[in-house]
Amino acid sequence: MSSELFPSNVIIIGAGVFGLSTALAIAKRHPTTKVTVIDRLVPPVADGESVDTTRCIRADYDDPVYARLAKEAQRKLEDDPDLSRHMFRQGMTWVSDGQPDENTESWKVQFELAKASSNPDDIVIFNSREEVYQTIHGENALPPSNVKPRWTMGYCNLENAFIDAKECIQVYYDRCLRIPSMTVRCGTPVRQITSVNGKATGVILEDGNSVTADLVIVAAGAWSNKLVDLGNRASSIAIAVAWIKVTPEEEARWKGMSITTNLNTGLNLFPPYRGEMKVLCRLGGYKNTVLVQHPEDPSRTMQISHPRTLITHPSDLIPADAEATIRENLREIMPMLADRPFDRTRLCWRSRAPTEDFLIAPHPRIAGIHLATAGSGHGWKFLPVIGDFIVDSVQGTLPRELQEMWAFHRYHERVRPDRNFASIVLETNSIHLSAPPERWRYTARLDHQG
């Protein structure tokens, strides 16, 4: 499709990073195209993959393509005054326990690549458990001696930052509202995408109303796989997140710390922000398996993992094993918070690909549907650039390397010697939910997460 033949009427399902960025890119590049953005809630969507108090901004990937794109995106974030005021460049520390396993090897590879691609003055090395601990607590602080050492070596890349994701999504949403050619319909979910003779014609909402369009872009994150059959290309996976209130004195003491992540244990700890600290488990995840009508054949059903969030289940808590993992890690790295009650918790649902590559491609069977999902836990940082890539994909002008990386058929075909692919094991897990999701153990490219 050439740029001159770009559709005159487009529906975008999803008002998160992929959806809003695409809407703004269409408005800029094709101002006569009518764009309708549809979401089940008003942005910033409280339980959406794109909305959080803090997210990582970094470019030290082990994949040169993502590294290049992330560096470009970070420059644009820093150059945008509406976004940069919500961005805090305090670095990100990557920690390992030094034990001989694949996670430690991943840490070593990432460390060498960070040194090669970053300003040498921005790489700070921690050679001992004491140095890792002191980077948070001060030069005279000593880590507790009554726990198994897991935070024993690390490095900090001072080029990295964290950003208030919720505020930035609000900025993008407000920009969309100011565009005359754009309509935003929020509050009613899409029930299904309609099609005639193998060509999409629009959508039907849960209230029975319909909206027609020449093109439907599915950018619904973890909710995408109910609207289209994604097969094994992407699945909805949740990670556990908790917030702990800190005192003004504690916030002042730790305010200058970097994001701190342990690649072996999976813990990710953010600096204090607005009176609280966010902590999450990067490794593993949870699936909530449900049976739904097949989107291409109403006579069939299919089994998918589908988000179960605090919007519909406000009494849900994070799983007990996730809480135990968080508190075990805090006893070593932040012992004063290890037994403090959580202020709130949630399962953060993500559309995750086994290769952690985005899915930006035409639907393989239905014309007029374009897929823009599978952010895989690292898509947020591409907010300023991802929309243009999605428009390029619609037009057929996406660079070949990105076409291949983000194609639909990338579960088995993208076999490269420098990649570790997902290993998935499902088991029953007893947690605090009335209908507990299954545990999803995931070992893959740790560098992509965050």
Length of the chain: 450
What is the predicted pLDDT for the residue at 279? 98
Preceding amide of 362 cis, omega within 30? no
Query: Tens of pLDDT along 301-354?
Result: 999 999 999 999 999 999 999 999 999 999 999 999 999 999 999 999 999 999
Query: Tens of pLDDT along 135-159?
Result: 999 999 999 999 999 999 999 999 9
What is the predicted pLDDT for the residue at 432? 32
Integer CA distances (angstroms), 88 to 119, 279, 380, 385, in order: 18, 17, 15, 20
Within 257-343, strands assigned E span: 259-262, 267-269, 276-281, 286-287, 289-294, 297-305
What is the predicted pLDDT for the residue at 217? 99
The half-sphere exposure of 24 on its side-chain side, counting CA atoms within 13 A, is: 20
For Cα atoms 106, 261, 251, give the angle at the middle one, nearest 5 degrees.
Answer: 165
Q: Kindly report each contact of residues 289-296 with a partner whose C-beta sits within 8 Å and lies 24 or more positions away, as own/partner.
A: 289/437, 289/438, 292/226, 294/229, 295/192, 295/193, 295/226, 295/227, 295/228, 295/229, 296/229, 296/365, 296/366
Phi, psi (degrees; rounded to nearest 5) at 57: -120, 115
**Who wins on pLDDT, 309 or 420?**
309
Classify residue 367 by its DSSP letter. Answer: B
Classify residue 397 by its DSSP letter. Answer: -
CA distance linking residue 112 with residue 8, whole number of Å: 48
The half-sphere exposure of 106 on its side-chain side, counting CA atoms within 13 A, is: 23
What is the predicted pLDDT for the residue at 411? 61
Region 36-57: mean pLDDT is 95
What is the predicted pLDDT for the residue at 164? 98
Q: Would you say residue 372 has pLDDT above 70?
A: yes
For Cα atoms 302, 307, 310, give the angle at the middle one, nearest 5 degrees.
Answer: 150
Please state the domain count of the chain.
1
Query: Tens of pLDDT along 72-86?
Result: 999 999 999 999 999
Q: How confident is the model at residue 422 (pLDDT cuts 50, 70, 90)?
A: very low
Q: How confident is the model at residue 60 (pLDDT cuts 50, 70, 90)?
A: confident
What is the predicted pLDDT for the residue at 434? 31
CA distance linking residue 7 with residue 213, whole number of Å: 9
Region 235-251: mean pLDDT is 97
Indicate which CATH number applies to the domain containing 397: 3.50.50.60
For Cα atoms 64, 231, 61, give the angle at the middle one, nearest 5 degrees.
Answer: 15
What is the predicted pLDDT for the residue at 8? 97
Q: Would you say residue 203 has pLDDT above 70?
A: yes
Coil, strand or helix: which one is 317? coil
Q: How confident is the model at residue 109 (pLDDT cuts 50, 70, 90)?
A: confident
Q: How confident is the model at residue 106 (pLDDT cuts 50, 70, 90)?
A: confident
Q: Would you say residue 200 has pLDDT above 70?
A: yes
Q: How confident is the model at residue 427 (pLDDT cuts 50, 70, 90)?
A: very low
**Who wins on pLDDT, 307 or 440?**
307
What is the predicted pLDDT for the residue at 3? 55
User: How much is the pTM?
Assistant: 0.92
What is the predicted pLDDT for the residue at 117? 85
Query: Tens of pLDDT along 379-394?
Result: 999 999 999 999 999 9
Enclosing domain of residue 431: 3-448
Contact at 8 Å (CB) between 155 and 124? yes
